[in-house]
């Protein structure tokens, strides 16, 4: 017992315990990571899709994001961004970027739906991240009234209450949401592209996201029953219209009347 007690007080005992703890933690992390990757490979995507996605990534994305998607000075690491990030960025044509700038601009997409899915499959194996939305949450069958309330509380300050978009700082902007697919709207909410915050399931539940998508589909389909939209910017554009057009007509009419009397 005395010898054992002396060994516990040895100066290297603390170091040995620290090394053992680090090895145990590293081993457990490796096991969990392997399980996550295997789950992504076998339950959502096929091995063929992952292989084809890696080829597409190396040919089109590795210049900025690195061969292993570890990131470079020109692009961030993609580990843990999930398949949903690829669905939004590549599916809307924002990636690959046409040029460097404050934010990636939407343009005609360069890849087919199947190619986008293959790249999403590859990125999904790099780490656990947001997956593609389930069909039940993007079917547009939610509550538009609830979705409208959620949108005004969480989204309208950037995208405008009518989802017409708006300007941000330093040349950035929140894009209009008309014509955006339900899948891309959902993917944007869970990944937070550009300056958009991430709305995970704790912030807004999947059912809440479904309601928001239903609200956006509703206001897009109903058009503008009030006449000219004036950019859907509310009292700002309406007030500017009154000052520049209506007041101008009144002044012009006044000038015409005075010229007639003289």
- Residue 184 annotated as part of some ligand binding site: no
Distance CA 97, CA 102 (A): 11
| DSSP code per residue over 187-248 | HHHHH--TTPPP--TTTS-HHHHHHHHHHHHHHHHS--TTS--GGG-THHHHHHHIIIIIHH
Distances (CA, A) of 222 to 46, 58, 238: 41, 44, 21
- Residue 64 annotated as part of some ligand binding site: yes
Q: Which of 124, 135, 130, 123 is nearest to 39 (CA)?
A: 124
- Residue 47 annotated as part of some ligand binding site: no
- Residue 10 annotated as part of some ligand binding site: no
- Residue 155 annotated as part of some ligand binding site: yes
Binding-site residues for heme c, please?
61, 64-65, 155, 158-159
Binding-site residues, please?
61, 64-65, 155, 158-159
């Amino acid at each position: 017992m005395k010898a054992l007690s002396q060994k516990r007080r040895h100066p290297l005992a603390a170091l040995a315990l620290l090394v053992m703890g680090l090895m145990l933690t590293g081993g457990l992390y490796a096991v969990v990571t392997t399980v996550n990757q295997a789950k992504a490979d076998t339950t959502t995507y096929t091995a063929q899709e992952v292989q084809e996605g890696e080829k597409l990534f190396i040919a089109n994305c590795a210049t900025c994001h690195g061969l292993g998607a570890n990131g470079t000075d020109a692009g961030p690491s993609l580990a843990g961004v999930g398949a949903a990030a690829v669905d939004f960025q590549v599916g809307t044509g924002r990636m690959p970027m046409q040029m460097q700038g404050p934010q990636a601009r939407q343009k005609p997409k360069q890849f087919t739906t199947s190619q986008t899915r293959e790249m999403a499959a590859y990125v999904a194996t790099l780490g656990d991240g947001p997956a593609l939305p389930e069909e039940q949450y993007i079917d547009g069958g939610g509550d538009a009234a609830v979705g409208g309330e959620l949108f005004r509380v969480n989204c309208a300050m950037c995208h405008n209450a009518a989802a017409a978009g708006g300007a941000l700082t330093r040349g950035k902007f929140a894009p209009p949401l008309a014509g955006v697919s339900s899948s891309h709207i959902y993917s944007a909410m869970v990944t937070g592209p550009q300056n958009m915050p991430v709305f995970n399931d704790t912030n807004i539940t999947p059912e809440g996201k479904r309601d928001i998508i239903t609200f956006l589909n509703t206001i897009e389909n109903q058009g503008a029953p009030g006449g000219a939209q004036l950019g859907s910017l509310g009292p700002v554009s309406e007030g500017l219209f009154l000052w520049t057009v209506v007041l101008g007509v009144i002044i012009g009419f006044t000038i015409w009347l005075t010229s007639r009397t003289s």
